Chain A
Amino acid sequence: MTQDVIIIGGGLHGSSTAYQLAARGRRPLVIERNHVARHASGASAGGVRRLRRHRAELPLAMESLALWRRLPELLGDDCGFSPCGHLLLAETEADLAWTVERAATTRSLGYDFEEPIDRAEVKRLVPAVSDAVIGGIIARDDGFGNPLLTTAAFRRRAESLGARYLERTEVLGIERDAAGWTVATTAGRFAAPSLVNCAGGWGERIAAMLGETMPVRMKAATMTVTARVPRFLGPVIGHVRKKLSLKQMQNGTVVIGGGYEGRADMEAGESDVLYAGLPGNMKPVVDAFPHLARVPIVRNWTGLEGNTPDAIPYIGPSPNDPTLVHSFGYSGHGFQLGPICGVIVADLVMHGATPLPIGAFQPDRFATAGTLQWGAKEGTAVEEQKAV
């Protein structure tokens, strides 16, 4: 059997794309350098969040949430999705003012899911929170999913519909001729009329093979998981101003993120925890939930993820060739977008267009000399997206 689309990268976005294409009768071949969900898709904290998202991503995030709710029906697997809400804590008057302003901005764009709440409501939702918290902003329908289960479920369904996966297969070169694309790999050569670049942190390298400039910086975000503790948290917790992210899983463990950087080793495809930087990661946790100070850390880990200069992804057809579609550089917040971006890329491959607004994600936005400027706070999606 031959393929009619080659997808480079078997993470969540590659697998979601493979599923959508296979569901519409195409025969995608997914080429994965390592194993499925090895990097960002496996190391993700699993946030299914619209709250404080970049304005350009909001229309996609709204559609994606609708798909998250339908995953049991589409994939036969709920992917661990728990719509427990996302809550950002406010501790100062300035924090509170920001919540009001943010909700107003989002409402002016036509969305009403962000809701400023007062101290009493925060306490009602999260009784364990410190008295220093005076309010917050919540998206009650956001939540989190299980990254490994989610990618595996997309892959499984894609395969059952005829998609093929080649793991431990590295792309060595890509050629274009009149018939389409030929991808030379460590497992042989494969040809197809369409090509999709879902290579995540390695997306820049794949683009470079195609003569396209799409800068990505590899980052290693640090995660912390604790021992099991009695249930004290419903919603996923963040902070208006501080780099804070924590959630309590079904089994009682607490998963803490926040975007603290480890050491990324792109050549080895590995990364390391850098403890010297982590006191700042834990202080806001203890400030918000003093009782967590005594809880042991079971594991710290880091995962590699590709960040773009403006911390929003590249999504769209190549300006040079409509049979080539890029979808990578999700900059640490691509998990929620996984379901919808598969739809968008499948639309682009099959029809050359998508009804959703993707202008901000143009693949060539940093291609021209002089346009490349890494954001002052690039990669810290939290700060970046506050500016919306």
Chain B
Amino acid sequence: MTDRPDLAIVGAGPAGLAAATEAATRGLSVTLLDERAAPGGIVYHAVTRSPLGGSAVLDADYCRGAGLVEAFRSSGATYCPGASVWAVDRDGSIGVTVDGQARWLRPRRVLLATGCMERSLPFPGWTLPGVMTAGAGQILLKDSGAIPDGPVVLAGTGPLLLLVAVQYLRAGARIAAVADLTPPGAWQRGLPQLAGALGCLPLLRKGLSMMAELRRSDVRRIPGVTGLRAIGTDRLEAVEVRQGARAERIPAGVLLVHAGVVPNIVLTRMLRLPHRWDPRQRCWRPDADAFGATALDAVAVAGDGARILGAEAAIHAGRLAALDAAHRLGVLDRAERDRHAAPEQAAIERHAGLRSLLDAMYPPPDALTFLDADTTICRCEDITAADIRAAIADGCRDPNQVKAVTRCAMGPCQGRQCGQTLARIVADATGQTEEDVMPPRARPPLRRLTIGDLAALETE
């Protein structure tokens, strides 16, 4: 691995793989850093080795990831698995630990393709063992084909919840209920966006057929859910589901929760890039142009980490960022860049059309709706909503102050999980809008780094 590649890419999901392939094909020296042991990111997790690959449980869209990996492997880009990126500097240099050794890379450019994460949706009992995100449940399935023995409740909203429900159903899980947090009227809301989404007909069809599959099964669907509580002493025993005034307890061994995905902005926040509030997706995302270029010369973003448009759009966005890197590094003139970019941009437009439909149908829930005063917000430091409100009552007016006073968002995850909920509570308690209140600053290191690692850091 050279310490000074033309382009370093963080993340081997669809955007990172496509960018690395495109950039290497254009003649750039490329190093792709990825935390995982195998390429594919979250969406194509374990795509090259899953025991369920090619089966009916995981569909053709998933298996398409294998082709992406194949192209990457023959592109000449350097692949660096098991690489923990613990810092990125504004000049594009990267602190990374590989094989137990911390190194400081100085690429000419860096592309952040760190993808999305599931929206954190704290509710009473959500920290009990047995409660996890639908995405985590899906990873277990992709990794080992494992499904839980006990009854499973799925709760939440959005296409991934539907996908995981269907995948669990096919794998033979006992699904006790699917508690739908989507406000009633999804199709009425979606109708005006339908025409714009027709460019992604195959994905639309896939969604409709999954809905039909779930409907045909005898899985119980509870619509219009307005409250959620996980009940148990040492681990999950039951899920309390509320529809308005009506509450019901459903025995469960596992609760999979999903409230949509948001860009993982810990790195871009740490870099102090400008971010903008996306009211439809109810999240913050880094400001970037059509090629993923940011306010920092050496830093670009691509994929769901820049804007949630899904895996296929991320492939196109990765290629765009690679074309732009090739242009900025002098191996591709502007006209050539733009000529190759046009079809990628058109494809992204199609996916943006589909996303508008999904955003209209599945509006992200307001975190405040589901939590109560005693709900844990920061899992790392065990800080509750009441602790945060007490700090605000004491005079704190922004999330950084609350962080300093309560330690909320000060743990090892650097606020990745709780940052947005903290900002939401601050906005609520101080009479501001969500758009007014950014999550707190994120601090390095983002991954494990010891005193000894840093003492021995090779900086050249």
B276 at the interface (CB under 8 A from A): no
Q: How far apart are the CA atoms of A118 and B438 in the complex, in Å?
A: 53
Across the interface, which residues of B come within 8 angstroms of A263, CB to CB?
A: 90
B412 at the interface (CB under 8 A from A): yes
Q: How far apart are the CA atoms of A152 and B449 in the complex, in Å?
A: 32
Q: How far apart are the CA atoms of A168 and B397 in the complex, in Å?
A: 10
Beyond A35-B398, A272-B90, A273-B87, whether A278 also contacts B272 by CB under 8 A is no
Beyond A274-B89, A275-B89, A278-B454, whether A297 also contacts B443 by CB under 8 A is no
Q: Are B454 and A42 in contact (CB under 8 A)?
A: no
Across the interface, which residues of A come within 8 angstroms of B445, CB to CB?
A: 297, 299-300
Q: How far apart are the CA atoms of A275 and B448 in the complex, in Å?
A: 14
Q: Are A278 and B457 in contact (CB under 8 A)?
A: yes
Q: Are B95 and A35 in contact (CB under 8 A)?
A: no
Q: Are A296 and B455 in contact (CB under 8 A)?
A: no
B244 at the interface (CB under 8 A from A): no
Q: How far apart are the CA atoms of A345 and B312 in the complex, in Å?
A: 64
Q: Are A279 and B398 in contact (CB under 8 A)?
A: no
Beyond A168-B397, A276-B459, whether A299 also contacts B410 by CB under 8 A is yes
User: Which single member of B87, B272, B397, B443 contacts A275 (CB below 8 Å)?
Assistant: B87
A294 at the interface (CB under 8 A from B): yes
B245 at the interface (CB under 8 A from A): no
Q: How far apart are the CA atoms of A156 and B5 in the complex, in Å?
A: 53
Segment of A57-65, A128-136, A285-293, A351-359 engaged in the interface with chain B: A285-293
A283 at the interface (CB under 8 A from B): yes
Across the interface, which residues of B come within 8 angstroms of A42, CB to CB?
A: 404
Across the interface, which residues of A come within 8 angstroms of B459, CB to CB?
A: 275-276, 279
Q: How far apart are the CA atoms of A148 and B402 in the complex, in Å?
A: 12
Across the interface, which residues of B come within 8 angstroms of A270, CB to CB?
A: 272
Across the interface, which residues of A come within 8 angstroms of B414, CB to CB?
A: 299
User: Which single member of B397, B410, B448, B451 contacts A167 (CB below 8 Å)?
Assistant: B397
Q: Are A300 and B451 in contact (CB under 8 A)?
A: no
Q: Fill in one digit per residue for B436-454: 1 if any A CB lies within 8 Å of its CB, else 0.
A: 0000000111001111101
Q: How far apart are the CA atoms of A152 and B394 in the complex, in Å?
A: 10
Across the interface, which residues of A come within 8 angstroms of B452, CB to CB?
A: 282, 286, 292-294
Beyond A42-B404, A148-B404, whether A276 also contacts B449 by CB under 8 A is no
A295 at the interface (CB under 8 A from B): yes
Q: Are B89 and A226 in contact (CB under 8 A)?
A: no
A113 at the interface (CB under 8 A from B): no
A298 at the interface (CB under 8 A from B): yes
Across the interface, which residues of B come within 8 angstroms of A148, CB to CB?
A: 404-405
Q: How far apart are the CA atoms of A136 and B283 in the complex, in Å?
A: 54
Q: How far apart are the CA atoms of A297 and B443 in the complex, in Å?
A: 11
Q: Are A268 and B89 in contact (CB under 8 A)?
A: no
**Beta-carbon nearest neighbor of B397 in chain A:** A35
A232 at the interface (CB under 8 A from B): no
Q: Are A272 and B451 in contact (CB under 8 A)?
A: no
Q: Fill in one digit per residue for B63-107: 1 if any A CB lies within 8 Å of its CB, else 0.
A: 000000000000000000000000101100101000000001000
Across the interface, which residues of A come within 8 angstroms of B455, CB to CB?
A: 279, 282-283, 285-286, 293
Q: Are A293 and B450 in contact (CB under 8 A)?
A: yes
B294 at the interface (CB under 8 A from A): no
Across the interface, which residues of B come within 8 angstroms of A301, CB to CB?
A: 443
Q: How far is the CB of A212 from chain B (nearest CB, A)?
A: 32
Q: Are A292 and B451 in contact (CB under 8 A)?
A: yes
User: How many residues on B have C-beta within 8 angstroms of the other chain's C-beta atoms?
Assistant: 30
Q: How far is the CB of B90 from chain A (nearest CB, A)?
A: 6
Across the interface, which residues of B come within 8 angstroms of A296, CB to CB?
A: 448-450
Q: How far apart are the CA atoms of A35 and B392 in the complex, in Å?
A: 13
B401 at the interface (CB under 8 A from A): yes
Across the interface, which residues of A come within 8 angstroms of B400, CB to CB?
A: 35
Beyond A272-B89, A275-B89, whether A35 also contacts B104 by CB under 8 A is no
Q: How far apart are the CA atoms of A152 and B404 in the complex, in Å?
A: 11
Q: How far apart are the CA atoms of A37 and B412 in the complex, in Å?
A: 24
Q: How far apart are the CA atoms of A285 and B453 in the complex, in Å?
A: 12
Across the interface, which residues of A come within 8 angstroms of B448, CB to CB?
A: 296
From 187 to 242 in chain B, residues with beta carbon under 8 angstroms from any chain A beta carbon are none
Q: Are B443 and A272 in contact (CB under 8 A)?
A: no
Q: How far apart are the CA atoms of A98 and B173 in the complex, in Å?
A: 73
B429 at the interface (CB under 8 A from A): no
Central interface residue in A42, A285, A297, by most chain B CB within 10 Å: A297
Q: Are B451 and A286 in contact (CB under 8 A)?
A: yes
**Beta-carbon nearest neighbor of A254 in chain B:** B451
Q: How far apart are the CA atoms of A37 and B395 in the complex, in Å?
A: 13
Q: How far is the CB of A153 from chain B (nearest CB, A)?
A: 12
Q: How far is the CB of B422 from chain A (nearest CB, A)?
A: 16
Across the interface, which residues of A come within 8 angstroms of B104, CB to CB?
A: 275-276
Across the interface, which residues of A come within 8 angstroms of B457, CB to CB?
A: 275-276, 278-279
Across the interface, which residues of A come within 8 angstroms of B410, CB to CB?
A: 299
Q: Are B398 and A297 in contact (CB under 8 A)?
A: no
Q: Fill in one digit per residue for B368-396: 1 if any A CB lies within 8 Å of its CB, else 0.
A: 00000000000000000000000000000
Q: How far is the CB of B260 from chain A (nearest CB, A)?
A: 29
Across the interface, which residues of B come within 8 angstroms of A297, CB to CB?
A: 445, 449-451, 454
B140 at the interface (CB under 8 A from A): no
B456 at the interface (CB under 8 A from A): yes
**Beta-carbon nearest neighbor of A271 in chain B:** B272
Q: How far is the CB of B156 from chain A (nearest CB, A)?
A: 31
Q: Are B454 and A275 in contact (CB under 8 A)?
A: yes
Central interface residue in B93, B401, B455, by most chain A CB within 10 Å: B455
Across the interface, which residues of B come within 8 angstroms of A274, CB to CB?
A: 89
Q: How far is the CB of B280 from chain A (nearest CB, A)?
A: 29
Across the interface, which residues of A come within 8 angstroms of B444, CB to CB?
A: 273, 275, 299-300
Q: How far apart are the CA atoms of A256 and B454 in the complex, in Å?
A: 13
Q: How far apart are the CA atoms of A279 and B101 in the complex, in Å?
A: 13
**Beta-carbon nearest neighbor of B445 in chain A:** A297
**Beta-carbon nearest neighbor of B412 in chain A:** A298
Q: How far apart are the CA atoms of A294 and B100 in the complex, in Å?
A: 12
Q: Fill in one digit per residue for A105-139: 1 if any B CB lies within 8 Å of its CB, else 0.
A: 00000000000000000000000000000000000
From 254 to 290 in chain B, residues with beta carbon under 8 angstroms from any chain A beta carbon are 272
Q: Fill in one digit per residue for A199-233: 1 if any B CB lies within 8 Å of its CB, else 0.
A: 00000000000000000000000001010000000
Query: 10 shortest A-B CB distances, which residue pairs?
Result: A293-B452, A282-B455, A276-B459, A282-B454, A299-B443, A279-B457, A286-B455, A283-B455, A292-B451, A275-B95
List 9 A-B residue pairs with CB atoms under 8 Å apart, sorted by A's residue number: A152-B405, A167-B397, A265-B272, A278-B457, A283-B455, A286-B455, A296-B449, A296-B450, A300-B444
Chain B residues at the A interface, C-beta cutoff of 8 Å: 87, 89-90, 93, 95, 104, 272, 397-398, 400-401, 404-405, 410-412, 414, 443-445, 448-452, 454-457, 459
Chain A residues at the B interface, C-beta cutoff of 8 Å: 35, 37, 42, 148, 152, 167-168, 224, 226, 256, 263, 265, 268, 270, 272-276, 278-279, 281-283, 285-286, 292-301
Given A265-B272, A268-B272, A273-B443, output 19 extra A-B contacts at Cβ < 8 Å.
A148-B404, A152-B405, A263-B90, A270-B272, A272-B89, A272-B90, A273-B87, A278-B454, A278-B457, A279-B457, A285-B451, A285-B455, A292-B452, A294-B451, A295-B451, A296-B450, A297-B451, A298-B412, A299-B414
